[in-house]
Chains A and B, each alone.
Chain A
């Protein structure tokens, strides 16, 4: 009896030990699998962090490029206007330096990927170059036409310094080839300044004390009249001139001054400016 019990106990014990070893082995295998999964999850989490970082950078890059692209059309439009100015200047004035400046501004635009201000600044540069070239062409044209002045000295009571101040303003607005004379009689009255259809401008002596901005506007306004005289027939026959400016050469001259970059107290809207810009280059649209 005792031997049987001992034998049963021994078999039981062996079975229990086997089961314990099997359970331990299973648990070890599951723990190993858990460690492997943890490592894979860590790696995947790091991959996710890397992707999020890359997305943040890409979003910023895309936004920067979109901002630059948004202002490119205005630059391209100014370049087209400049190209037209080069054509008008061909055979008249040397635009080598202007073209070099334009190409430099254009290169800055082509390489820019982040700051739209680089493009808008370059656009303003191109615009200024166009105005300068057109001014140079105007001066060339004026210099080629021999027009009589009113006769007599260029200044009287305003003196050489006063004359120089007004002359500088006229040159600044693109009228470097246009005659300038002091006169107390202007347009049959005592206007501050007036333009003569023979292609010169008269000014009243006291305007030599005007501020630079006011002088610039006044000379741009009178120079605009000089340009109006050059296309007078087509201008006064133009339906657009009547509908946009009421046939008023003073309103048109003020708008032309705005377009040239020297506004006074009278402005004009975009459509009027676009039309008025043509008169500067002899185009009655």
Chain B
């Protein structure tokens, strides 16, 4: 009886240990996956911000062009007074 108990206990111990190891591996994998997602999203954000900087430069250049055109359109040189 005692032998059976020891064997059973041993089996439970080994089984439990295996479960704990698997659970631990899963936690580590989930953490690594989350970190990878963070790195990817950070890169995507950098890309979008770079693109927005270029768009803002384009818009600023157009606004400068429009301001110059406005100056020319408002010029009354040569017109009737």
Give A residues with C-beta under 8 Å from B: 9, 16, 19-20, 23-24, 26-27, 30-31, 33-34, 37-38, 40-41, 44-45, 47-48, 51-52, 54-55, 58-59, 61-62, 65-66, 68-69, 72, 76, 79-80, 82-83, 99, 102-103, 106, 110, 113
Q: Is the CB of B59 within 8 A of A27?
A: no
List chain A residues, Cβ under 8 A from B42. Answer: 37
A79 contacts which chain B residues (CB < 8 A)? Answer: 78-80
Q: Contact check: which of B28, B51, B72, B80 meets A83 at CB < 8 Å?
A: B80
Task: Evaluate contact between A69 and B69: CB separation under 8 angstroms.
Answer: yes
Asked if B80 and A61 sit within 8 Å, CB to CB, the answer is: no
Closest-by-CB residue of A relative to B76 is A110
Known contacts: A37-B41, A62-B65, A106-B79. The answer to whether A19 contacts B24 by CB under 8 A is yes
Tell me if A30 and B35 are in contact (CB < 8 A): yes
Total A-B Cβ pairs within 8 A: 98
| Cross-chain contact A30 with B34 (CB below 8 angstroms) | yes
30 residue pairs bridging A and B, Cβ less than 8 Å apart: A16-B24, A20-B23, A20-B27, A26-B31, A27-B30, A30-B34, A30-B35, A30-B38, A31-B34, A33-B38, A34-B34, A34-B41, A37-B41, A41-B45, A48-B48, A51-B56, A58-B63, A59-B62, A61-B66, A62-B65, A62-B66, A65-B69, A68-B73, A69-B72, A72-B72, A76-B77, A76-B78, A79-B80, A110-B73, A110-B74
The distance from the CB of B41 to the nearest CB of chain A, in whole angstroms, is 4
Residue of A nearest to B55 (CB): A51
Closest Cβ of chain A: how far from B69's Cβ, in Å? 4
Q: Does B8 contact A (CB under 8 A)?
A: no
Q: How large is the interface on B (under 10, 10 to 19, 20 to 34, 35 or more residues)?
A: 35 or more
Q: How far does the Cβ of A275 sit from chain B's closest Cβ, in whole Å?
A: 23
B78 touches A80 (CB 8 A): yes
- Docked CA distance A252–B2 (Å): 136
Nearest-Cβ distance from residue A72 to partner chain B, whole angstroms: 8
Told that A41-B41, A62-B65 touch, could you supply 17 new A-B pairs with CB distance under 8 A? Answer: A16-B24, A23-B24, A30-B38, A31-B34, A34-B38, A44-B52, A45-B48, A51-B59, A55-B59, A55-B62, A58-B59, A69-B69, A72-B73, A76-B79, A79-B79, A79-B80, A103-B80
Residue of B nearest to A80 (CB): B78
Give the residues in chain A near B66, CB-CB below 8 Å. Answer: 58, 61-62, 65
Q: Which residues of chain B have C-beta atoms less than 8 A from A24's C-beta?
A: 27
In Å, the complex CA distance between A54 and B60 comes to 10
B69 touches A48 (CB 8 A): no
Give min CB distance, A149 to chain B, whole Å.
Answer: 40
